[in-house]
Structure 1
Amino acid sequence: MMGIHGGDIYRNFVTLDFSVNVNPLGIPEKAKEALHQAVELCGRYPDMKAENLKKAVGEMLAIPEKYLLFGNGASELFMAVAHGIKAKKIILPVPSFYGYEYAAKATGSEIIYYEMNQKNSFALTKEIEHFLTEDTDILFLANPNNPTGHLLPQETLKFLLHRCRDKGITVLMDECFIEFAGSQFSMVSQIEEFDNLMIIRAFTKIFSIPGVRLGYLICKNPLILTKIACQLPEWNLSCFAQEAGCACAKETDFIQKTVNYITMERQFLEQGLLQKGFQIFPSTANFILLYSEEPLYEKLLAKGILIRDCGNFRGLKKGFYRIAVKTRKENEILLESL
């Protein structure tokens, strides 16, 4: 797994990390308080059913609590889905997050890669329906996609969900970055209509708590939920994850503040990159994909700045890089260092 993901600050000298895409506003104060208070709970086992967390997230999303499963980060849920569904054939649009491929390979699934076109800014189109054969078990989608930041229109998503339902295909939708684009673009509002839809989200990015490890899956289909739940370890959520999650679930104002800030700083970064002659791709998330023939990764790492070299993403090539949207001061340092 070495080199597959960003954030390797442990084996590099890094003063600024632009390789991971967490909220530049940091951890909400209430979440920090909850984490400190959780120390007193370490002397006992955490609630295996995570009832308080389930109630808090259910209220946050306005959905029944029975639709929710929680995991030690989204990554644990991807793996649980792969083992629970036992898919023989998976459709995976690329470039996209490596974790989907990693989970699929763990169960020996056949993976059909659907390459998105650079000329179309790597946007997924309805053309993928020609790959959706009746022997397909799962279609992986990311919205917004990582590393491109592209947001799929709801009309396209509904079209694909209908096609997949007609052919008995389950859709796994990764919405781990949806809050940065705006929660109104989430497909959670459609969860009642499609029993073939699973949505995975996480507290990691929007609340800047990757070290806490907390993700959740939403699905109305009880059969699917049961299959996945059987693949999750007992006590997979620490008291820290549960307490922080309950606090974060109430931070609606923090999320809106984040959306406004990210929009402003992303535009600032995009303008700066364009002025320096880089090719960038439209993003709705808290990161930007760019292309350059310069060896940017090595150039910036020599200055203590870590970015994500995307040359190892399936569907991309050498010269593609992803940079996180951070604070104005940090963004200015990055632009000055290029």
Structure 2
Amino acid sequence: MQTIHGGDIYRNRIQIDFSVNINPLGIPEEVKDALHQAVDVCMQYPDMEAEQLKEALSRKFCLPKTYFLPGNGASELFLGILHALKPKKVILPVPSFYGYAYTAKAVGSEVVCVPLKKEEDFLPGEELVLALQEDAELLFLANPNNPTGKLMKPAYLENVLEVCKEKKIYVVLDECFIEFCEKENSIVQRLSTYRNLLIVRAFTKIYAIPGVRLGYLMCSDKELLQKIRGQLPEWNLSVFAEAAGIACLQQQEYLKKTVEYVAAERKFLTEKLQNLGLQVILSDANFILFYSEKPLYEKLLQKGILIRDCKNFQGLSEGYYRVAVKSRRENEILEKAIGECIG
């Protein structure tokens, strides 16, 4: 049976979707209000450079406005980066988000995969540093990683950045899930030190607005940002996207509540999965990777529950699954359903 993802729910009878990692608190009310109000200006063309959104990002991170490039979701920005740089060789730790390899291959890059080891908690180590010695031009990293949910230690990440700076290797760092983490060890404030560093974030997951399509790139190399901007379509952000983004950046209490809620539910769900005898990879994010000796995907689908079958992630074997951290009620339903499947 072909696995499906959250985007396919309309063709399937899914009652609870654990395959997409969206904030369980839902869209902030202020963001809904901003989207409604944007209707009044939808007869106007959007600002091609999204200046108001850049200013809001600048205030949030206390960085120059010129460091930011908004885009139509993280995927568009990844593609823009690769089209602008056209690296001959890309280094990619695996397992990781399939979009990195897809984007690199789309522009003709050779992709060299560096396997992450289960016995090392799927965290990158010395093997990755050694791989950077072989005439690489670009490195993809995610912090936290998807599907493992693991955060890299700041000292390790700094070491990798130093190696890449010395060897003139661009580092594309995906931080799309970092705002869910209790220990948000972002490297954003080091952007001025590493001009080869490109950090990508999205509003999609953390603010529960995947349908809006909005992300942003951060980099201290202004000329490079302009080059990447030249690879993106004109008016790639709608007035709705910019309005939603500006409203999202004001939701500090919502972010605090999200981190606390996700931490509590992640702990609850992790313990329940472990009690069922499943091998759980401890996560820092809003999703959990685990291994089951018994097949779960189709059985749960028959119960109206969709989870992410990870067998098509390079570096993972059959039996690995990823589930989003959702509400207590939904997490309890998942626990009960899995128990029935493996009991």
* Deviates further, 40-49 or 17-26: 40-49
TM-score, scaled relative to structure 2: 0.96
Displacement of 1:184 after TM fit?
A: 3.7
The verdict on how the C-alpha distance between 1:17 and 1:144 changes in structure 2, with shifts beyond 3 A counting, is same
Equivalence for 1:45: 45
Equivalence for 1:82: 82
* Equivalent runs, 1:168-187 vs 2, <5 Å: 168-182=168-182, 184-187=184-187
* Equivalent runs, 1:65-144 vs 2, <5 Å: 65-133=65-133, 135-144=135-144
Equivalence for 1:57: 57
Would you say the 8 A contact 1:203–1:215 is kept in 2? Answer: yes
Deviations 1:124-146 (A, max 9, x none): 11331110026211000000000
Name the SS for the 2:78 alignment partner.
helix
Equivalence for 1:331: 331
Could you tell me which amino acid in structure 2 is paired with residue 316 of structure 1?
L
Would you say the 8 A contact 1:7–1:17 is kept in 2? Answer: no
Would you say the 8 A contact 2:173–2:198 is kept in 1? Answer: yes
Could you tell me which amino acid in structure 2 is paired with residue 170 of structure 1?
Y
* Deviates further, 198-207 or 180-189: 180-189
Q: Distance in 1 between matches of 2:126 and 2:261?
A: 32
Q: Distance in 2 between matches of 1:230 and 1:266?
A: 41
Would you say the 8 A contact 1:92–1:141 is kept in 2? Answer: yes
Could you tell me which amino acid in structure 2 is paired with residue 27 of structure 1?
I
* Equivalent runs, 1:11-22 vs 2, <5 Å: 11-22=11-22
Equivalence for 1:201: 201
* Equivalent runs, 1:211-290 vs 2, <5 Å: 211-290=211-290
Q: Distance in 2 between matches of 1:288 and 1:76?
A: 26
2:23 counterpart of 1:23: yes
Could you tell me which amino acid in structure 1 is paired with residue 290 of structure 2?
L
Would you say the 8 A contact 1:4–1:312 is kept in 2? Answer: no
Would you say the 8 A contact 1:48–1:234 is kept in 2? Answer: yes
Could you tell me which amino acid in structure 2 is paired with residue 318 of structure 1?
E
Q: Distance in 2 between matches of 1:122 and 1:53?
A: 36
Deviations 1:277-309 (A, max 9, x none): 100001000000000022211111101010000
Identity percentage of aligned residues: 56
Name the SS for the 1:316 alignment partner.
coil
Would you say the 8 A contact 1:126–1:160 is kept in 2? Answer: no
Q: Distance in 1 between matches of 2:291 and 2:36?
A: 42
Would you say the 8 A contact 2:114–2:127 is kept in 1? Answer: no
Q: Distance in 2 between matches of 1:274 and 1:170?
A: 39
Could you tell me which amino acid in structure 2 is paired with residue 18 of structure 1?
F
Would you say the 8 A contact 2:182–2:263 is kept in 1? Answer: no
Q: Distance in 2 between matches of 1:118 and 1:6?
A: 26
Q: Distance in 1 between matches of 2:43 and 2:61?
A: 31
Deviations 1:104-141 (A, max 9, x none): 01101000000001111211113311100262110000
Displacement of 1:252 after TM fit?
A: 1.1
Q: Which 4+ residue blocks in structure 1 deviate beyond 6 angstroms?
A: none
Equivalence for 1:167: 167
Which sections of structure 2, spanning at least 5 residues, go unmatched?
339-343
Would you say the 8 A contact 1:141–1:172 is kept in 2? Answer: yes
* Deviates further, 44-53 or 235-244: 44-53
Would you say the 8 A contact 1:191–1:197 is kept in 2? Answer: yes
